[in-house]
């Protein structure tokens, strides 16, 4: 995928919705962003045969490149307001390119299975203007309970116009009512826990790759990831690479855990300010090291759990939730001392002495046969509200990634995101690949099912 600088702002071009913000120099107000809205083909392709996936993934990447090219054309005529110009110079050529790529995707699938129908209906895209300018940032040192939001007119790195988050994306945690309810434990519940202690990314393992969603694609995430556990995780790591790698985990667990970095929007230039995944993709500010990282596997409230298969891949949350909607969103933000109050679509403003908390509760039900799926979701599922798994799924240890940060009250912070996602808190997400040895996984299952607390 390519990034395009429009008026000094680095913007990501994706196959879904992407914002091309045109901002002016000299502190003048930013123009309304132009958004190219294309159907998300990757979400539609949930049943791609395994043999066809490499070729299909390659074509999906081509769709992203085509949208990037369309943004370049749109930027070249940024002063154009004529709808006919946008249609003939941007949308019609893009739709034609997409139609050809969608036909190749269908052909690749047809080589090993039935040809999918209806893909050509996803060729057309639209363009619209959005008013997404964030509210002004608070005065320096402000600790007001409804304070921070970065300002488009005061770029964090002094060079690039920024979009998001807005003041409305933050809420004082003390104003949130308790909202956490757990299912009642049944007689056969698996009450134990197993922990892997893997550090806080002291070795600064960062990259903007996503080996689960975009294997073999450098900067496939277009935002920076924090890693703990497996030391070799990047876009090009194979299962064999992961199995042979070192680890930061004290128990020898080679599993890989990663999530978008959290940044302090304090005007400081980070080392990735001019690099992919960082400033080139609109992610600026100082990367915050977690104050703590807890990786806990827990049981089912209604049954015993079965072992996870080696190389099981799970994603929780949706990095594109702002444009895709909240169907797959699973962000949970809170503050220490207030974790019975979880926020899905707001950043928490924590009182003095309380740390910001991100919690990723992973899917705890597995289909019993697949370690991944075409959309990286359908092979696993969340338990029902009563704790039972959907039909055809079995309970596995539920991973909970809990990350905390020391952030001074009134400070501006935001999660890394695809630029068109505007650093919205609801786009937060966690990723996991199980690379535990068979013996370590058996130990984890035994601890959980017998009610012990291990690790």
State residue 6's pLDDT score: 25
Q: Which residues neighbour 372 within 8 Å (Cβ) at sequence distance 6 or greater?
A: 212, 312, 313, 379
Q: Considering only CA atoms, which of 412, 294, 416, 418 is closest in space to residue 357?
A: 294
State residue 273's pLDDT score: 94
Q: Which two tokens stand for residue 285?
A: 């500010």
Strand runs labelled E in 125-230: 126-129, 170-172, 193-196, 206-207, 225-229
The answer to whether the Cα torsion of 16, 33, 209, 90 is positive or negative is positive
State residue 243's pLDDT score: 98
State residue 142's pLDDT score: 37
- How many other C-beta atoms lie within 10 A of the C-beta of residue 188? 11
Q: Which residues neighbour 22 within 8 Å (Cβ) at sequence distance 6 or greater?
A: 6, 7, 30, 31, 33, 34, 75, 78
Alpha helix positions (H), 45-164: 53-76, 83-86, 92-110
The answer to whether the Cα torsion of 395, 191, 382, 427 is positive or negative is negative
- Give phi and psi for 91, each to the nearest 5: -75, -45
Q: At what angle do helices 53-76 and 92-110 cross, to 10 degrees?
A: 180
Q: Which two tokens stand for residue 272?
A: 């990735």
- Answering whether pTM is above 0.85, one says no
Q: Which two tokens stand for residue 228?
A: 């703990």
Residue pLDDT tens, the chain, 455 long: 333 222 222 222 333 433 333 322 122 233 445 667 778 788 788 789 989 988 888 788 777 667 757 766 776 765 666 788 889 999 999 999 999 999 999 999 999 999 999 999 999 988 766 554 443 343 333 344 444 433 332 333 333 334 678 888 999 999 999 999 989 999 999 999 999 999 999 999 999 999 998 888 888 888 999 999 999 999 999 999 999 999 999 999 999 999 999 999 988 899 999 998 998 888 899 999 999 999 999 999 999 999 999 999 999 999 888 878 899 999 999 999 999 999 999 999 999 999 999 999 999 999 999 999 988 999 999 999 999 999 999 999 999 999 999 999 989 899 999 766 789 999 999 999 999 999 999 999 999 999 999 99
Cβ proximity of 35 and 129 under 8 Å: yes
Cβ proximity of 101 and 66 under 8 Å: yes
Cβ proximity of 306 and 406 under 8 Å: no
């Amino acid at each position: 995928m390519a990034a395009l600088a429009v008026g000094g702002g680095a913007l990501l071009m994706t196959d879904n919705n992407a914002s091309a913000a045109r901002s002016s120099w000299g502190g003048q107000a930013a123009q309304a962003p132009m958004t190219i809205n294309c159907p998300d083909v990757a979400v539609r392709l949930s049943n791609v045969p395994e043999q066809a996936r490499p070729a299909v993934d390659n074509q999906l990447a081509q769709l992203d490149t085509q949208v990037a090219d369309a943004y370049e054309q749109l930027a070249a005529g940024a002063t154009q307001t004529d709808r006919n110009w946008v249609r003939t110079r941007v949308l019609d050529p893009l739709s034609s390119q997409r139609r050809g790529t969608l036909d190749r995707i269908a052909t690749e699938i047809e080589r090993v299975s039935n040809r999918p129908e209806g893909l050509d209906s996803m060729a057309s895209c639209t363009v619209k203007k959005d008013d997404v300018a964030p509210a002004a940032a608070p005065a320096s040192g402000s600790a007001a309970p409804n304070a921070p939001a970065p300002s488009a007119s005061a770029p964090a790195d002094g060079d690039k116009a920024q979009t998001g988050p807005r003041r409305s994306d933050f809420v004082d945690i003390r104003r949130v009512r308790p909202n956490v309810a757990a299912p009642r434990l049944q007689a056969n519940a698996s009450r134990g826990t197993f922990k892997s202690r893997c550090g806080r990314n002291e070795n600064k393992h960062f990259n903007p790759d996503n080996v689960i969603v975009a294997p073999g694609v450098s900067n496939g995430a277009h935002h920076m990831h924090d890693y703990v556990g497996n030391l070799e995780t990047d876009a090009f790591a194979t299962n064999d690479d992961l199995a042979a790698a070192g680890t930061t985990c004290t128990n020898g667990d080679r599993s890989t855990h990663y999530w978008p970095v959290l940044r302090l929007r304090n005007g400081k230039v980070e080392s990735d300010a001019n690099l992919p995944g960082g400033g080139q993709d609109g992610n600026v500010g100082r990367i915050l090291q977690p104050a703590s990282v807890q990786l806990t596997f827990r049981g089912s409230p209604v049954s015993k759990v079965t072992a996870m298969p080696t190389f099981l891949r799970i994603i929780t949350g949706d990095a594109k939730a702002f444009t895709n909607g909240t169907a797959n969103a699973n962000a949970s933000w809170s503050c220490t001392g207030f974790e019975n109050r979880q926020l899905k679509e707001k950043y928490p403003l924590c009182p003095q002495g309380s740390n910001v908390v991100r919690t990723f509760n992973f899917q705890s039900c597995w289909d019993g046969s697949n370690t991944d799926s075409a959309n990286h979701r359908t092979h696993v599922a969340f338990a029902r509200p009563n704790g039972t798994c959907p039909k055809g799924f079995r309970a596995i240890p539920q991973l909970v990634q809990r990350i905390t940060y020391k952030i001074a009250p009134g400070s501006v912070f935001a999660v890394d995101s695809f630029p068109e996602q505007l650093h919205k808190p609801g786009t937060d997400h966690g990723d996991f690949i199980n690379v535990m040895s068979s013996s370590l996984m058996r130990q984890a299952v035994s601890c959980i099912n017998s009610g012990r607390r291990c690790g």
